[in-house]
Structure 1
Amino acid sequence: MQKPKSETLVIVGMSGGVDSSVTAAVLKEEGYKVVGLFMKNWEEFDEHGVCQSSLEYADVIKVCEKLDIPYYSVDFIEEYRDQVFKQFVDEYKLGFTPNPDVLCNREIKFKVFFEKAMELGADYLATGHYCQSLLVDGEYRLVKGADPLKDQSYFLYTNKKEILEKVMFPIGHIPKTEVRAIAAKYDLATKEKKDSTGICFIGERNFKKFLSNYVTFEDGDFETLDGTKVGRHTGATYYTLGQRKGLGLGGQGEPWFVVGKDMSRNVVFVERGEFHPHLYADTLTATDLSFVSGVWNKELPFKCKAKVRYRQKDQDCTVVKIEGDKIFVEFDQPQRAITPRQSVVFYDGDICLGGAMIEKSGPSYFEMNKTLPEIQ
């Protein structure tokens, strides 16, 4: 028998931002027994001796006191360093461009933080993510957030149905504008606070300067695919496929874009033009499979939608085959800058099926000596 809301304990993961603040407010208004729990994952002081996490926790305290709910703080600095940040740095050293938000959600928010909430007696953990956990055909599914500009299901594809049974996303069904309006209605301290950006739990900063504290870089050459040297870079690791900004390359003609890297030679390959065929491929192989249901339960080949990066529009594709921990995908249209160690995430309508870590793409249209089809 389900508990009444007044006896149902919901622990809200509070970050000091407007989304988690409104999450707590909505649940309190609905009659749940709400507790705010702040997660400290990073500790670093700026030039003025101020720790950003302390400032965020101060906002959590203001919001919780305004809502008249208890609040606590837990420290996962060591877990975050060992399970997220170390891998993040290691992959950059190898020349990849990892996505720490996926790893942070898998290893921290919906693992150790979730376990801590359950240990504290929570019936549910709630977060301010823009997605939904809905019961469909007797099974909990991860569903896109109603606001297409804010949907965060891409980052949460590693969550399994067993976790989703115990997780609430109270603002996943409403647009961001309404979230701001609710914050104003309750006069929350975070009502006008800017959305956080940057690396998960590290925040917005000069990324190049930050990364240089952990990774050693050497200057090297920008080369075209035929081996022509066209300039110098400050370290191959800093650059990612499809990048245009920050190259420092000029001259007559179309802008330069990164089309590849050779880490063994510390070379960054560049070519002119956003639609250079070396940037496009219509196949990929991915590994580290993770499906919400726990298994892939669709008959192959299976047509669905997929994203190879956050905020990308859904792309038509076919999951051709799965061999062990590898999945092979063909896209109806060529995809730009499919990047190793980023995630490919699969959708059946608004339902997130799961995803995997991109291992490689291609061959590219350049390598196949084909004319690039019209990009839609």
Structure 2
Amino acid sequence: MKKRVVLGMSGGVDSSVAAIELLEAGYDVMGVFMRNWDSTLNQDVLGNPDRDAPICSQERDYQDALQVCEHLGIPLHRVDFIEEYWRDVFTYFLREYEAGRTPNPDIMCNKYIKFAAFARHVEQFAPDYIAMGHYARVAHKPEVMLLRGADDNKDQTYFLSQLTQVQLEKVLFPIGHMQKADVRKKADAAGLPTADKKDSTGICFIGEREFSAFLDNYLPAKPGPIITLEGETIGRHTGLMHYTIGQRKGLGIGGLDGYGPEPWFVIGKSLPDNTLTVGQGFHHPQLYADMCRLEAVNVIGLDIQLDGLVCTAKVRYRQQDIPVRVSVQEGVVVVHFNRPVRAVTPGQSCVLYDQERCLGGGIIQAVYRHGNRLPY
């Protein structure tokens, strides 16, 4: 009897080819499309490019997924996780921005929706495995380990770093061994309608938005002064939530008298007095840190001992690995970089690696340079 796999179908090329890979491996495949956002219900008006479109992007994705499943001869079910997404992902997203941090909703989307709500929902189909079209791999024996995808440029383990071994023990990533170019070629050879479809970007399950305007739907903007390290006011910001550490674009302060030609970057944020601090130069010293403290730390393996661990880390997606040493100080996980690292941002994730293996990670809570906390 064939083993059954329930595959998350997004309507994109990756999950489409994942379906082919599973069929070729001899599995009984069933697709499930998740709808997690309702623009009308969620008052998604400002910054929404599909506001006046006759059909929303999620409905287009569903139709694409349906065409692929019909082409391959597999069933497709549809489920709404709108309430769960709002409660477990979007409220977190808003809370972090309100606190002056820069969150990564994709990580929480994987933790609470794709590998939790989805997994619970499909239990009714009695699957042997669930599968997703992520660029990652799972080793199931001798113990469950999360491994990088074969395509270094597309590897998505950074976004999967909050998953547990229990969540991963019955997960398959059918395209994790493939290069993106080969995924496209396979889709084209199979005549899939998604072969040339553009990769999805933007916020997980929401899509492309004009970001500042989108946030204004949910959080009141509080304009305030833009200041230098010396305390001089040189401009006005539109609300701290619209800016992140290391940002250059959108500051509106170029060509100031008395200052050199170097561009300005965000180098600090102060929520209590609502000030945005800027400095000139991509390599401004205040943009560099040698240590960060983590919260909400997750390790993927009982064998992993964090205190004294020497490994590598990423503090943002697609960043080159940074050699680090990990310590645990009074119960708090601290990551020490072997060289100064630019724009380590509170709210983002610091993800740990041992060569191919993703060890887990945590949310950056505070950032330091030479023992002094940076005003992020």
Report the TM-score when normalising by structure 2.
0.92
2:124 is the alignment partner of 1:116: no
**1:367 Cα deviation (Å)?**
7.5
2:269 is the alignment partner of 1:261: yes
Equivalent residue for 2:25? 30
The DSSP-based 3-state class of the residue aligned with 1:139 is coil
Distance in 1 separating the partners of 2:362 and 2:242: 24
**1:233 Cα deviation (Å)?**
1.4
Distance in 2 separating the partners of 1:47 and 1:322: 53
Equivalent residue for 2:320? 313
Equivalent residue for 2:281? 273
Aligned pair count reads 360
The DSSP-based 3-state class of the residue aligned with 1:114 is helix
**1:158 Cα deviation (Å)?**
1.5
**1:296 Cα deviation (Å)?**
6.2
**1:229 Cα deviation (Å)?**
1.0
**1:172 Cα deviation (Å)?**
0.5
The DSSP-based 3-state class of the residue aligned with 2:140 is strand
**1:265 Cα deviation (Å)?**
1.7
Give the structure, 1 or 2, with the largest relative contact order (CA under 8 Å, sep 6 or more). Answer: 2
2:76 is the alignment partner of 1:68: no
Give the alignment partner of residue 351 of structure 1, picking from 341, 357, 364: 357
Give the alignment partner of residue 43 of structure 1, picking from 21, 31, 38: 38
2:17 is the alignment partner of 1:16: no
For the 8 Å contact 2:306–2:328, the answer to whether it is kept is no
For the 8 Å contact 2:304–2:359, the answer to whether it is kept is no
Cα–Cα, structure 1 residues 296 and 213, in superposed 2: closer, same or farther, change >3 Å? farther
Structure 2 counterparts to residues 97-176 of structure 1, below 5 A: 97-135=102-140, 138-176=142-180
Distance in 1 separating the partners of 2:14 and 2:201: 13
2:208 is the alignment partner of 1:200: no
2:323 is the alignment partner of 1:289: no
Distance in 2 separating the partners of 1:233 and 1:266: 9
Distance in 1 separating the partners of 2:222 and 2:365: 26
**1:223 Cα deviation (Å)?**
0.4
Letter in 2 for 1:238: H
Give the alignment partner of residue 334 of structure 1, picking from 321, 340, 343: 340
Distance in 1 separating the partners of 2:140 and 2:340: 34
**1:163 Cα deviation (Å)?**
2.1
Letter in 1 for 2:308: P
| 4+ runs deviating over 4 angstroms | 364-368
Distance in 2 separating the partners of 1:247 and 1:364: 28
**1:366 Cα deviation (Å)?**
8.7
Distance in 2 separating the partners of 1:364 and 1:204: 39
**1:21 Cα deviation (Å)?**
0.7
Distance in 2 separating the partners of 1:296 and 1:246: 46
Cα–Cα, structure 1 residues 185 and 82, in superposed 2: closer, same or farther, change >3 Å? same
For the 8 Å contact 2:6–2:129, the answer to whether it is kept is yes
Distance in 1 separating the partners of 2:172 and 2:113: 17
For the 8 Å contact 2:36–2:85, the answer to whether it is kept is yes
Equivalent residue for 1:227? 231
For the 8 Å contact 1:223–1:231, the answer to whether it is kept is yes
For the 8 Å contact 1:277–1:364, the answer to whether it is kept is no
The DSSP-based 3-state class of the residue aligned with 2:144 is strand
Distance in 1 separating the partners of 2:363 and 2:355: 21
Distance in 1 separating the partners of 2:206 and 2:8: 17
Distance in 2 separating the partners of 1:299 and 1:72: 41
Letter in 1 for 2:287: L
The DSSP-based 3-state class of the residue aligned with 1:362 is strand
Cα deviations by residue, 1:67-91 (Å, 9 ceiling, x for unpaired):
0001110110000011111111121
User: Which shifted more, 34-43 or 217-226?
Assistant: 217-226
Distance in 2 separating the partners of 1:96 and 1:297: 28
Equivalent residue for 1:84? 89
* RMSD between superposed Cα atoms in Å: 1.6
Cα deviations by residue, 1:134-160 (Å, 9 ceiling, x for unpaired):
135x10100000000000000101122
Cα–Cα, structure 1 residues 106 and 257, in superposed 2: closer, same or farther, change >3 Å? same
User: Which shifted more, 357-366 or 219-228?
Assistant: 357-366
Distance in 2 separating the partners of 1:153 and 1:245: 28
2:241 is the alignment partner of 1:237: yes
Letter in 2 for 1:12: L
Percent identity of the aligned residues?
A: 47
Distance in 2 separating the partners of 1:98 and 1:205: 16
Distance in 1 separating the partners of 2:370 and 2:150: 35
Distance in 1 separating the partners of 2:279 and 2:367: 18
